[in-house]
Chain A
Amino acid sequence: MQILIPDSWLREYLKTKATPKQIQEALSLCSASVERLHQTKDDFVYDIEVTTNRVDLMSVIGIAQEAAAVLPQFGHPAKLIKNPLLEKPEVKMAKAVDYLKVQVDSKLCPRFTAVLIKGVTVKPSPQWLVKKLELAGMRGLNNVVDISNYLMHLIGQPVHTFDWDKITNHTMILRESKPGEKVTTIDKKSHTLGGGEIVIADGSLRLIDMCGIMGGLNSAVDERTQNVLLFVQTYEPVHIRKTSMSQAQRSAAAVLFEKGLPTENVPPTLNLGINLFKELTGGKPEPVAIDLATPPKKEAPIKLDVQFVNRRLGINLSAAAISKILVSLGFGVNNLQVSVPPRRRLDVVLAEDLVEEVARVYGYHNLPSILMTGSLPEAVHNQTFYWESQIKSALSHWGFTETYTYSLMVQDSGLKLKNPLSSEWAYLRTSLVPSHLLTVTENLGRVKEINLFEIANIYLPRKGDLPQERLHLIITTTNLDIPRLKGIVEAVFNWELGIKVEFNFGREVNLHTSPSCLTYEIDLTEVLPQAKADKTYVPISKFSPVIEDVNIRYQGNYDQLLTQLKKISHLISVIEMVDIYEDKLTLRITYHSAAKQLSSADVAVVRDKIMELG
């Protein structure tokens, strides 16, 4: 959540000599982050990011309280001059009033207050109010709307106003909506409700308010309004959130109400509102306001232990220092029994929450930086990361470029997303091939030859379980020379990893051809456990080998020929292909014996047998 706080408005509640820059720094380091400090002609404005747990800071008062607590830590004396939330309201409150008949579901609305103000003149607000609102990022509209916005910004409690004369029979029924009910809000949008929204119906049973989100158009204040019902409530947050989401209406009020607001802030807000109406609209408030309140649950104080706090902070603070910080934030502290003020009831529940309060005000920047000692965890024997990096290193050094393609694809894989962002990313992939074919298509013509690889998980559906994640490698090349690709695959697996892998076309295996490229995909999860880094040394023979090239007829199956050759004699130790031309193969044969030096005669016998093959 973001809020703009003008410096002059803040200083109506905060007394300090600190400069806006110093306030910015103190708040950012110890409270809410002041992301920017804007300078205007005669003022400064703090642009503050408030985290969702601190809805109490979505207000001038909240920020003033925090500033008063944190500034002294930076050597700037500061104090809160006044706090309207702690003042006793002058207005009388009663459970029933004669100008409004109500029926309220207290589960939906923990506190319901309203007061009738007669004889209101709707007109532009005075300059001081318009200027305040504008600095805070709002627009001045008329005195009635501006009072509501002013109060919400000052206290963080939304306020609504009805034209009292538009409420049929001056009757309100606050309840859950039924499916299909309709309401048009003051922004002239018409909403069909799904049921479960908090709404108010009037005496004619029509809906006049979508509570906590936005008021109804049919009961809104306009320029002819004379009698205003000033309306201050808290609502059950889950309902507000659901409605705000389902109706796509993220109003400022909804953002506050859905966090859950303290009922204690309602009377002071109503009271300030009454005074402003008197001052700015000439209206005459009724002496008694209606107030239907469910008393908040009494929370037991949180017990804090000095040692516990210090163990988490890593320093030594005294009980007095801890108490001083908590008191400055508005907590009640008695012998380290800490009671939480209403506005903090939502985010401070555990002793750990209080540790955070102490630590941040003490200042994270004042804590030392220390690397932990203590015993190391038992190392996991996981070689996957090592082998992955070996494969990546080898392939990149052999001219292949690594890609990272999206794991989501357009093809139906059986693993569909419920809420895809676009149809091209609707399924989790079960193979890396489609992603690489797409990448090749997109890159064709950009370079002469494309050589790519990628290591990524694929996801296989399983019944009643998470998809199985398997790590795959894909090698892709637009060079359609299959023996070259095979050579790369063999170099990676046979040499770098010491494993034999399949290289073939077909469903089970992994070679895929398309008109523009070849791809080879392999399941690393399956093969990596067999990878080994250790090589076995074979002693270098003292007898040198005899090497010669022979020409032999090629009949279409090299693998078969190799098997036949190897059977001929154990003296044939290496066979390499030198050339292939039509049906002629040139093979380089290495003859070697570990037992003796081979003579020409020894070799001749074997050679003759080779020649018999073709």
Chain B
Amino acid sequence: MRDKLQNIKNEALALIIAGADQAEKDRLRVHYLGKKGVLAEIAKEFPSLASDEKADVGELFNDVKQAITNALGTVQAESGGAALPSVDVTLPGVKPPLGHLHPVTKAIAEISSIFERIGFTRVRYPEVDWDWYAFESLNMPKGHPARDEWETFFVDAPDHSKLGKVVLTPHTSNGQVREMERVKATPPIRMVNIAKCYRRQSDVSHTVMFHQFEGLVIDEGINITHLKGTIDHFVKQFFGPQRKSRLRPYHFQFTEPSFEVDVTCDICNGRGCKLCKEGWLELGGAGMVHPNVLKAGKIDSAKYSGFAFGWGVERTYMMKSGIKIDDLRLLYSNDIRFLTQF
């Protein structure tokens, strides 16, 4: 019982010293000193003590009670169950400090979780890479005019004898052959590569730095219907079940066939308006992986086939309903008045 009492004292004093406010002190007072409190309960055990112990323990008991009482301070007037003071609940609340995640982070989190749900693995490949991965392995030999579409930055560094120049990746497609190498040319592959990209362009709809997400699926028997299925899944999950997608013929060197993917415009619901092209907004490119790209990744194109798509994170996010950012450069202005709106 001595131990018990000592324990109660330590515990009570620790709680009181830990910065209890008045309300907490009131609660502790009731807990320890009240009519059915801890000390009252322990006093009930007195009769069972041997008589030679009684005096000793009694002294300790009083000691403990006094210490707790002192620590709690002078007794407050009993509130006796009086009504709460009237409070204006329309007064402003006290907010915790609010921080904000950047919209690009939110978009990336959403995009990767949508693809992870259907078995894609998120990877990250170099943002500064060799020409071989950014262009040549993607069926774009040196001097090919298709390279012009990517307004590419070059790093002032010596060329690699085999892999060529050092470029800031103008797209995430450099991850395609790198992923094929990672799996040692042994599909299945279901990757989503999300990274920074760079192009020499800056206007309302272009920033020199932006993000892309690249999907790549390679396995036996992969065909266009799987590409359509994957894109439908993404569009419905990301934009909402009422939005539709479609594929249009397009051309990219590293896919054959190539498509442009459109989704219905959220402003006019696909009826056609000033902001869209006859009811459709362009999401980005996609296609079946070109046999020359599989070859560059040492994958047997007679056995395996695949599809790929690579879209801008910012652009895709802007096409969600209700964001209304009219100048993409705002995303990288880092104006605190912009950032704290998200």
User: A residues within 8 Å of B by Cβ?
Assistant: 24, 28-33, 35-37, 51-54, 238, 241, 258-259, 311-315, 347, 350, 352-353, 355-356, 359-360, 364-365, 367-372, 374-377, 379-380, 382, 384-385, 389, 392-393, 395-408, 415-421, 425, 428, 439, 442-443, 446-447, 450-451, 456-457, 459, 461, 464, 466-467, 469, 543-549, 588, 590, 597-599
Asked whether A53 lies within 8 Å of B196 as measured between CB atoms, the reply is no
**Additional A-B contacts beyond A54-B251, A371-B118, A377-B190 (14; CB < 8 A):** A28-B278, A29-B246, A313-B223, A315-B225, A353-B256, A356-B256, A371-B229, A399-B98, A419-B153, A439-B334, A443-B336, A464-B160, A548-B17, A597-B10
User: B residues within 8 Å of A by Cβ?
Assistant: 3, 6-7, 10-11, 13-14, 17-18, 96-102, 104-105, 109, 112, 118-119, 121-124, 126-130, 143, 145-146, 149, 153-158, 160, 166, 168, 183, 187-191, 196, 198, 200-202, 208-209, 217, 219-226, 228-233, 246-251, 256-260, 277-278, 288, 290-291, 305, 331-332, 334-337, 339-340
Residues of B within 8 A of A24 (CB): 278
Q: In the complex, what's the smallest C-beta–C-beta distance from B228 to chain A, in angstroms?
A: 4
Asked whether B14 lies within 8 Å of A544 as measured between CB atoms, the reply is yes
Q: Which residue of B lies closest to A388 (CB)?
A: B105
Residues of A within 8 A of B331 (CB): 404
Q: Which residue of the partner chain, among B99, B228, B278, contacts A401 with CB atoms under 8 Å?
A: B99
Asked whether B10 lies within 8 Å of A545 as measured between CB atoms, the reply is yes
Jot down 25 A-B pairs with beta carbons below 8 A, ordered by A.
A28-B278, A29-B246, A33-B248, A33-B250, A52-B145, A313-B223, A315-B225, A352-B256, A368-B225, A372-B226, A377-B183, A382-B122, A384-B124, A399-B98, A403-B102, A408-B208, A418-B156, A428-B168, A446-B335, A451-B97, A461-B157, A466-B128, A469-B126, A544-B11, A590-B14
Asked whether B335 lies within 8 Å of A372 as measured between CB atoms, the reply is no
Q: In the complex, what's the smallest C-beta–C-beta distance from B268 to chain A, in angstroms?
A: 15
Asked whether B224 lies within 8 Å of A367 as measured between CB atoms, the reply is yes
Residues of B within 8 A of A241 (CB): 145
How many residue-residue contacts, CB under 8 A, span A and B? 257
Residues of B within 8 A of A418 (CB): 153-156
Asked whether A311 lies within 8 Å of B223 as measured between CB atoms, the reply is yes
Asked whether B99 lies within 8 Å of A451 as measured between CB atoms, the reply is yes
A347 and B99 alpha carbons, distance in the complex (Å): 53
Q: Which residue of B lies closest to A34 (CB)?
A: B278
Asked whether B251 lies within 8 Å of A549 as measured between CB atoms, the reply is no
Residues of B within 8 A of A407 (CB): 127, 196, 198, 209
Residues of A within 8 A of B230 (CB): 371-372
Asked whether A369 lies within 8 Å of B248 as measured between CB atoms, the reply is no
Asked whether A377 lies within 8 Å of B248 as measured between CB atoms, the reply is no
Asked whether B258 lies within 8 Å of A356 as measured between CB atoms, the reply is yes
Asked whether A369 lies within 8 Å of B225 as measured between CB atoms, the reply is yes
Asked whether B188 lies within 8 Å of A312 as measured between CB atoms, the reply is no
- A379 in contact with B145 given A29-B248, A398-B97, A469-B128 (CB within 8 Å): no
Q: In the complex, what's the smallest C-beta–C-beta distance from A457 to chain B, in angstroms?
A: 6
